[in-house]
Chains A and B, each alone.
Chain A
Amino acid sequence: MSITGIIIAVCVVGGVGLFIGIFLSVAGNRLKVETDPKVDEIIEALPGNNCGGCGYAGCSALAEAIASGNAPVSGCPVGGEPVANNIAKILGVEADASEKMVAHVRCKGTCDMTFNNYNYDGIKDCRMASFVPAQGPKSCDFGCMGFGTCVDVCEFDAINIIDGIAVIDKEKCKACGKCIAACPKQLIELIPYKARYVVECMNKDKGPLVMKVCKTGCIGCSLCAKECPKEAITVEDSLAHIDQEKCAGCGLCAKKCPKNAITAI
């Protein structure tokens, strides 16, 4: 190879590189998209798990929504109050206090309290098991089957299967809502972290039917509703509900419940 060949090669490749460099920097300037610097700061403040618990496609999408005013500063359920305060500081507004919520499984039908109608030998996944007759092998059609679909989707290791039902550790729960979406029985709900008493049953059948399938299911007797001094308990579909905003945490309902379906947490 002659020396001119080398020089030509250097010149051409160097020229291409130089041209591309100049072209890209010019294009970068011409095609610059104005981004709000606040968006980057908010992304920094968010947890960055991209769990999607806020309902947006990841943390950066939420940051854009917060910066443009479409989402509240407390839009991140995972970060809770500290993150909301940081974001409020960035935007220079007051944070509206958001109460810390946790997920809770409304079933206490453990292995001793319920039984199986038949032996289920299929895929160990609640979503699959709920397609078989009677919505799964468990005696109670509404109860937690304990195959652990919620455990699989939880990114914070907050759910364990204990004695045949899912139990959520409320210290670890970030209220991202993934388990709520995954549970085919819609057993999981968000309750305030401070909540003291919950009705741990979702069986909407009449009392006698419930008694047949579970020793601790709510039979809709309304004794708790009559006992409650704050009138926080209503009975619908023969199932008691506690309005956590009205509940004072006195615990009279739990003492009165003949089936022990109301639990102190």
Chain B
Amino acid sequence: MMGKLLAIAIGSAFINNVVLSQFLGICPFLGVSKKVKTAAGMGSAVVFVITLASAVTSLIYKFLLVPFNITYLQTIVFILVIAALVQFVEMFLKKKMKGLYNALGVYLPLITTNCAVLGVALKNVQNSYNILESVVNGLAVSVGFLVAIVIMAGIREKIEYNNVPRAFKGMPIVLVTAGLMAIAFFGFSGLK
């Protein structure tokens, strides 16, 4: 049991890294990776939301969609549930945990409709994970995202000081960097 969970965790966090090998969640990966601090904030918000969302969506799948035999509607229902969940979490944090809200608050609405969140929920169903496995998978995927975005932000902070050729200034050099990172992360596939 533990062995299987560990295999899921490492597989999702590094080998099939959500950004660098599945190409999900590229938008925040490129948009919010200018500074390590904001990248870490975004990353932790993603960890928070994806872990919660995988738990809730797998509950919904098991106790609502399967009994009524309407699993083909999973995408629509998941979108609904995730959007509502993020909204609720934001309200809850604002009221009850002011410190966490100040740290994550601005990033939470950005992930409402993030494809990575929906992608993890759908992957959990596809791989027929049970609820515990779904949560572990969600946590691992989002930790993989956190690692990738923080590394990216670190590199981008250094790029600021480089003499980048004019044609590559701005987004092009960031995309080139992302590509090189993806190649580097392919090294993890040897872990299998």
Contact = CB atoms under 8 A, between A and B. Distances in A.
B64 interface: yes
Given A31-B91, A33-B95, A16 B80 contact: yes
B162 interface: yes
Contacts, number: 51
A59 to B, nearest CB: 14
Given A9-B73, A12-B64, A123-B162, A33 B80 contact: no
A20 B81 contact: yes
Given A123-B163, A124-B163, A12 B80 contact: no
A13 B76 contact: yes
B182 to A, nearest CB: 28
Contacts of A27: 88, 91-92
Contacts of A16: 60, 64, 77, 80-81
A20 B80 contact: yes
B167 interface: no
B70 interface: yes
Of the four ranges (under 10, 10 to 19, 20 to 34, 35 or more), the interface on chain A belongs to 10 to 19
Which DSSP category, helix, strand, loop or mixed, fits chain A's interface? helix
The listed residue with most A CB atoms (<10 A of its CB), out of B64, B91, B96, B161, is B91
Nearest to B88: A27
A8 interface: yes
A125 interface: yes
A184 B126 CA distance: 56
B94 interface: yes
Interface of B: 60, 64-65, 68-70, 73, 76-77, 80-81, 84, 87-88, 91-92, 94-96, 161-163
Interface of A: 5, 8-9, 12-13, 16-17, 20, 23-24, 27-28, 31-33, 123-125, 128
Given A12-B68, A20-B84, 7 more contacts: A12-B77, A13-B76, A17-B80, A20-B80, A27-B91, A31-B94, A31-B95
